[in-house]
Amino acid sequence: MESILSPDINTCSTPSELKITDMRFCDVQGLPMHCILMKIYTNQGIVGYGEVRDFASKRYALQLKRILLGENPCNVDKIFRRIKQFGGQSRQGGGVSGVEVALWDLAGKAYGQPVYRLLGGKFRDKIRMYCDTDVEGKHTGKDMGRALLARMEKGYTFLKMDLGLGILKDVPGAVSAPLGFMEELPALWEKRRAAEAAGDRELARYLENRIYDYHNIAHPFTGIHVTELGFDVLEQYVKDVRETIGYEVPLAIDHFGHIGLEDSIKLCRRIEKYNLAWAEDLIPWQLTDQYAMLRRSTTVPICTGEDIYLKENFLPLLKAGGVSVIHPDVLTAGGILELKKISDLAADYGTAMAVHMAESPIGCLAAVHAAASCENFLALEYHSVDVPDWCDIYDDKLPKPLVQDGYITVPDLPGLGIETLNDEVLKAHIHPRIPGMWEPTDLWNEDVVEDRLWS
């Protein structure tokens, strides 16, 4: 008898009987950052891949294991609503988001469909990648221009570079700050390196906490101001870049350092004529009123969002008119479906969306499926142009390299598109301070806790 099932349906699985049985991890580095890869196992042999946000901790996901065991991963939204209370901003969103991604991978594999199709289909067949570009050490705008030009020659059609205090580091008279303040951080790093080399973990930990304190001084509280000479240097840098790459390719800028609102406005006004795609994370995203003032003070498109968890935390910025472009990360925002909801919300406010991404191919493919399903999508970030074995972690039908001529073709394979991971390649990237690979996590199966949100 002829089957009534579509040939795409995976008849080896019975989606309604699918149950989560285990969750394991592998911490790697250099792919391109410290990335935390996740497997969620089921009673039908299907394994879902997820990833906790770069530089976060697998514990953010492990605390969710007791809720996941025995649940049907195809009920993605229901499980997400149960676990979302255990996520937070930035890296703390990594556990919930990474699990959500693995649930979609499982659902897609169980139904034999690519994730984008379960989200309502796609707006585009190829995802435009925008290329983050660094030049090591002291350099000029001409050097950066040449590095960006090399990206364009590889097919990239959208670019980003850093612009800010890093460029002014060795320029006398470019910055005013409380005297001695700018030297504190390099001194702390130097001491930490020495402590680490001497094997003094206690001192190294103490110094790590002091480095955290320093980084955690929010922009309005540093007392750092750029002088007119400093703005001259930054303006000349952008001018030199534009003269090298031309004015037609979109160019975004990021990583200004902790300067406050007024200096951000001055900087944007200086560089308006260089036709920028956006200026990113100039000030902390929590400062809604300051964002609204910044956006109204310049014609440079203002962008933020890579550290924002959940749609409801994008709403104040959108309502206040504080951004022209939002920039969520699928592994912080709450996962694939939450990213789509954020995109739809932003579109209602006439705001475009670029997607932040500094992850392994797992996180990247999660962003690809989400971005395919979003109408207001501009481009997806890519940090791994110079990582030769980034694509070697998967062993299957997906193309290699994943990015070709500046684009990723949205895969039509089940789930995210990865069938098996190559453990030999992962082994070569194991994080030296977090050894072990796919080890048991039974200690996290049970807990005694009441996590209702109301009585």
- Measured from each CB, the residue nearest to Mg ion is 254
Site string for Mg ion, 197-236 (x = CB under 5 A): ----------------------------------------
Task: Return the HEC string of the chain.
Answer: CCCCCCCCCCCCCCHHHCCEEEEEEEEECCCCCCEEEEEEEECCCCEEEEEECCCCCCHHHHCCHHHHCCCCCCCHHHHHHHHHHHCCCHHHHHHHHHHHHHHHHHHHHHHCCEHHHHCCCCCCCEEEEEEEECCCCCCCHHHHHHHHHHHHHCCCCCEEEECCHHHHCCCCCCEECCCCHHHHHHHHHHHHHHHHHCCCHHHHHHHHHHHHHHHCCCHHHCCCEECHHHHHHHHHHHHHHHHHHCCCCCEEEECCCCCCHHHHHHHHHHHHHHCCCEEECCCCCCCHHHHHHHHHCCCCCEEECCCCCCHHHCHHHHHCCCCCEECCEHHHHCCHHHHHHHHHHHHHCCCEEEEECCCCHHHHHHHHHHHHCCCCEEEEEECCCCCCCHHHHECCCCCCCCCECCEEECCCCCECCCCCECHHHHHCCECCCCCCECCCCHHHCCCCCCCCCCC
Selected range binding Mg ion among 5-13, 123-131, 252-260, 346-354, rule: CB under 5 A = 252-260
At residue 203's C-alpha, the angle toward residues 201 and 208, to 5°, is 90
Selected range binding Mg ion among 29-37, 172-180, 249-257, 329-337, rule: CB under 5 A = 249-257
Q: Is 254 in the site for Mg ion (CB under 5 A)?
A: yes
**Which CB, 357 or 372, lies closer to Mg ion?**
357
User: From the CB of 110, what's the least distance to Mg ion, in Å?
Assistant: 35
User: From the CB of 354, what's the least distance to Mg ion, in Å?
Assistant: 10
**Which CB, 134 or 389, lies closer to Mg ion?**
134
**Which CB, 92 or 113, lies closer to Mg ion?**
92
Selected range binding Mg ion among 107-115, 254-262, 335-343, 368-376, rule: CB under 5 A = 254-262
**Which CB, 280 or 359, lies closer to Mg ion?**
280
User: From the CB of 364, what's the least distance to Mg ion, in Å?
Assistant: 16
**Which CB, 48 or 328, lies closer to Mg ion?**
328
Q: How many angstroms separate the CA atoms of 333 and 94, rounded?
A: 8
**Which CB, 358 or 368, lies closer to Mg ion?**
358
Total chain residues near Mg ion (CB under 5 A):
2
SS3 (DSSP) at 47: strand
Selected range binding Mg ion among 197-205, 253-261, 403-411, 444-452, rule: CB under 5 A = 253-261
**Which CB, 40 or 331, lies closer to Mg ion?**
331
**Which CB, 381 or 392, lies closer to Mg ion?**
381
Which residues 267-306 are close enough to bind Mg ion by CB under 5 A? 280
Helices (H), 63-114: 65-68, 76-83, 94-111
User: From the CB of 135, what's the least distance to Mg ion, in Å?
Assistant: 17
**Which CB, 76 or 282, lies closer to Mg ion?**
282
User: From the CB of 307, what's the least distance to Mg ion, in Å?
Assistant: 9
User: From the CB of 15, what's the least distance to Mg ion, in Å?
Assistant: 38
Q: Is 22 in the site for Mg ion (CB under 5 A)?
A: no
User: From the CB of 306, what's the least distance to Mg ion, in Å?
Assistant: 5
Selected range binding Mg ion among 6-14, 45-53, 69-77, 246-254, rule: CB under 5 A = 246-254
Q: How many angstroms separate the CA atoms of 286 and 312, rounded?
A: 13
Q: Is 329 in the site for Mg ion (CB under 5 A)?
A: no
User: From the CB of 304, what's the least distance to Mg ion, in Å?
Assistant: 9
User: From the CB of 350, what's the least distance to Mg ion, in Å?
Assistant: 22
Residues in contact with Mg ion by the rule CB under 5 A = 254, 280
